[in-house]
Structure 1
Amino acid sequence: MKKKNQSIRGMHDFLPKDTIYLQIIEKKIIKILKSHTYKEIRTPILEDTEIFKKSIGGNTDVMSKEMYSFYDRNEKNISLRPEGTVGCIRACIQHHIFKKSLFQKLWYYGPMFRYERPQKGRFRQFYQLGIEVFGFSDPIIDFDLILLTIKIWNKLGILKDLILEINSIGSINNRKNYENDLRIFCEKKIDKFNLDNFRNVILNNPIRLLDSKNINIILMMKNAPKLINYLDLSSQLRFQKLCNYLDQKQVNYIINHKLVRGLDYYNDTVFEWKSKNLGAQDTICAGGRYDQLIKNLGGPKNSAMGCAIGIDRLFLLKELFKKKIIKNNYFIDIQIIFSNPEFYRFVLDISDQLHTIWPKLKIDTNITKISVSNQIKHAIQNHTKFLLILDSYLLSSNKIIIKNISLRTQKKEFFYRIFQSPCIFI
């Protein structure tokens, strides 16, 4: 049996019916970012593997198991980017952006790659929209970034379906001290809780045990050291300050002391927005502070805060705002319907004239040899506003049929302005 050509496992296609929603989601988010003076930066999907080793951490799952790394023809080790922050900072350092100003507000959007086990909401090629703020260490920026995400969810109409979880993981030194004690504790419990399969995680990256779903790990961690007890005074005060800001603004949130990030460069504030409608992979936005990363990558000492929105997972929530999108964003403004092939040139002339007056109109000429009934069916499927019907008999009298098939009513003067000839409205 001949093998079918299919996409690579964990990498999926977005069909035209899907990209309609994606474009609307992207447009709404980008509009908010621009209104808050964030500037776009675009970086390559390929980076030197070494830059990820310096930043992500060699003991993380991302670095040890999930990277798409390979040698190019010059025997240089390069990787498909697993996330966007590192490439963004590398570009800022390389092009001396921080020399102009330590304070920068940037965003980017594109595909990321991780070799994970594919499931709903988890793909090997996935799309993230990242938001980064450089130059401010005060938790007011953490608060401001969370407020920005709230504005995005409000714009998409999904805020009521999301839950905000926050935590402080302290400074990098706090975390190292905690990991050492946690490792010692867990090593004594491996046999008791039958966790030999997790020995490597316990030895190399024990903090990842905090958010594990494994029942034996959950039981073991009940009596394990608590990260909150290892925070120094500075980290405690800044986290309390953030909570006060959120309380004053009446933002609903949950403090989740088990919330950590899977990358080594984070410190202090971490947060996630989760949905109850996505199952196990329920995080649609995650971020936190990473004040040492820029310096570690060869740049100046500069604080930083950022987050990434998982567009794939946001797309899975489309049913929450699908009706609203269809109602307020028709796919086609005008479809020109005709039966006589002699009208081909005339149809293109009409379309060109319409676009000259209103460049943003979405017009479907559908110049194919299909029946009028199928043309109308196509128009209905694409949520068309108006049919512009060319009838041979009426055209001989210099008349055009205009049919409103949308839910909206439109002024007839709209078409009188386009066509300086009689129109029949039906």
Structure 2
Amino acid sequence: MLTTRPRGTNDFLPQETEKWQLIEKILREICEEFDYHEIRIPIFEHTELFQRGVGETTDIVEKEMYTFMDRGKRSITLRPEGTASTARAYLEHKMSALPQPVKLYYMGPMFRYERPQAGRYRQFHQFGVEVFGSSDPGVDAEVIALAMAFYQRLGLTGLEVRLNSVGCPKCRPAHRQALQQFLKQDLEQLCPDCQGRYDRNPLRILDCKNPQCQKITAGAPTILHSLCPECVDHFAAVKEYLGMAGIQYQVDERLVRGLDYYTKTAFEVVVQEIGAQSAICGGGRYDGLMESLGGPPTPGVGFALGMERIFPTLATQGIELNPEKMLDVYLVAMEEEGQKKAFQLLMDLRKMGIKAEKDYMNRSMKAQMKAANRFQVKYVLIIGADELAKGTVMIRNMETSEQKEMMVADTLNFIEKAVK
């Protein structure tokens, strides 16, 4: 049926996009304050980028990617996340020559073939930040602080930062061996996905949402008990920096995140009020990502948040977004000559940067005044028969109901000063 959208996608109507624009504005303002700069990455990439960058044992690569062959017989994938693409751009454009660290942010649609449910869609929107070039644990704390600053500016409360370290290539082998030994006797009871992960990436078994797998892995050795001295020191420093930033956190030893590229720090921001899918933001450090893409060793850290998840969280907490009024002035006119004069005045106002609108449906003056009320404008400019004959405009202040009549040139000057 051509009058319905594909499953797992959304239409955002004007009254909704105004709220989206307000959220995007807040995100941009915070990024500017934190000295992060926007990057715009392609909607699709070569499939291998995500296979190597995200990890072949992840649910994203195994089950969820929108992959197709283009006309050149190349395997192309709609981006399921933003980090791999941003890392690719850093390498391709030799951004390592820039002053380090390079601090970037992006926002836009991502695509995953998932079962649609509340707050989870097949086309969804992410905002993310990535910092390349620094292994300083203070950067880990900074990206978490940026995420929390955004949520706090929206007025959200009851948020919890869950924090863990997933180690590094030095300390993971010991944990891998201990975890495999723990799971060995119950291997056949794990779900098929986790059975496949047992040899390839057993750490990902701890992230499985299957109740049977969660029961089996209860009490499994966590990587915190296997961390090398470098990872221990890094994790301690991250916690110290978070304390200095006034950010409370809870250490969650089972938190591993769903992507293979994470090393050391992993974190989520959760809010319990929105149901089972309680994580509204997640990220961590990925010091091995650049090498997996064929680049030189380059540390990195970042996060992504699902923008659709923001709205049910706001609604649950009773927070109403109030975008700025879209219009400053509404023009009301009668008869054909009055409509022409109003149109000329409308164009002049817009050239001055004033947000203005007029009636295009030949409504009565009463109906036009009702429209002006719906727009919640401060000023209405009226051009009736009397005003048209005298070359004037009646200016009505909609807040005070005061009216004054002015010549057209004086009207423009008055509105410019009043609005700006």
TM-score range, shorter chain: 0.7 to 0.9
Q: Deviations over 1:345-386 (max 9, x none)?
A: 2112212222333x1x32122322234444344444444333
**Matched-pair contact (CA < 8 Å) for 1:45–1:80:** yes
Alpha-carbon distance, 1:412 to partner:
12
Partner amino acid, structure 1, of 2:154: L
Are 2:358 and 1:365 aligned?
yes
1:142 corresponds to which of 140, 143, 154: 140
Q: Deviations over 1:162-220 (max 9, x none)?
A: 222211111144334434432343342256x6756853455554433434444433332
Are 2:305 and 1:309 aligned?
yes
Aligned counterparts of 1:408 and 1:342: Cα–Cα separation in 2: 26
Residues 172 and 312 (structure 1), Cα distance of their counterparts in 2 relative to 1, 3 Å cut: farther
Are 2:180 and 1:183 aligned?
yes
Alpha-carbon distance, 1:261 to partner:
1.3
Residue 385 of structure 2 is matched in structure 1 by 392
Aligned counterparts of 1:128 and 1:260: Cα–Cα separation in 2: 20
Residue 345 of structure 2 is matched in structure 1 by 350
**Matched-pair contact (CA < 8 Å) for 1:170–1:235:** yes
Residue 171 of structure 1 is matched in structure 2 by 168
Residues 338 and 56 (structure 1), Cα distance of their counterparts in 2 relative to 1, 3 Å cut: same
Are 2:339 and 1:341 aligned?
no
Aligned counterparts of 1:177 and 1:81: Cα–Cα separation in 2: 34
Partner amino acid, structure 2, of 1:56: V
Aligned counterparts of 1:28 and 1:412: Cα–Cα separation in 2: 40
3-state SS, counterpart of residue 291 of structure 1 = coil
Counterparts of residues 235-250 of structure 1 (less than 5 Å): 235-250=231-246
Counterparts of residues 268-307 of structure 1 (less than 5 Å): 268-307=264-303
Aligned counterparts of 1:421 and 1:184: Cα–Cα separation in 2: 80
**Matched-pair contact (CA < 8 Å) for 1:102–1:302:** no
Residues 250 and 99 (structure 1), Cα distance of their counterparts in 2 relative to 1, 3 Å cut: closer
Residues 304 and 246 (structure 1), Cα distance of their counterparts in 2 relative to 1, 3 Å cut: same
Aligned sequence identity (%): 34
Counterparts of residues 25-424 of structure 1 (less than 5 Å): 25-158=23-156, 160-190=157-187, 195=191, 199-202=195-198, 204-319=200-315, 323=320, 325-326=322-323, 329-357=324-352, 359=353, 361-405=354-398, 418-419=411-412
For structure 1, the residue ranges without an aligned partner over 5 or more in a row are none
Residues 196 and 34 (structure 1), Cα distance of their counterparts in 2 relative to 1, 3 Å cut: closer
**Aligned residue pairs, count:** 412
Alpha-carbon distance, 1:98 to partner:
1.2
Alpha-carbon distance, 1:391 to partner:
2.6
**Matched-pair contact (CA < 8 Å) for 1:383–1:406:** no
Residues 390 and 177 (structure 1), Cα distance of their counterparts in 2 relative to 1, 3 Å cut: farther
**Matched-pair contact (CA < 8 Å) for 2:170–2:228:** no
After TM superposition, the score normalised by the length of structure 1 is 0.87
Partner amino acid, structure 2, of 1:170: G
Q: Deviations over 1:97-151 (max 9, x none)?
A: 2134442111122211111111111111111122111111010111122222222
3-state SS, counterpart of residue 23 of structure 2 = helix
**Matched-pair contact (CA < 8 Å) for 1:47–1:79:** yes
Residue 418 of structure 2 is matched in structure 1 by none
Alpha-carbon distance, 1:419 to partner:
4.1
Residues 380 and 279 (structure 1), Cα distance of their counterparts in 2 relative to 1, 3 Å cut: farther
Alpha-carbon distance, 1:25 to partner:
0.7
RMSD: 3.0
Aligned counterparts of 2:400 and 2:50: Cα–Cα separation in 1: 52
Residues 164 and 383 (structure 1), Cα distance of their counterparts in 2 relative to 1, 3 Å cut: farther
> Which stretch shifts more, 285-294 or 387-396?
387-396
Q: Deviations over 1:291-350 (max 9, x none)?
A: 111122122221111111222212334445864525xx1122222123333322211221
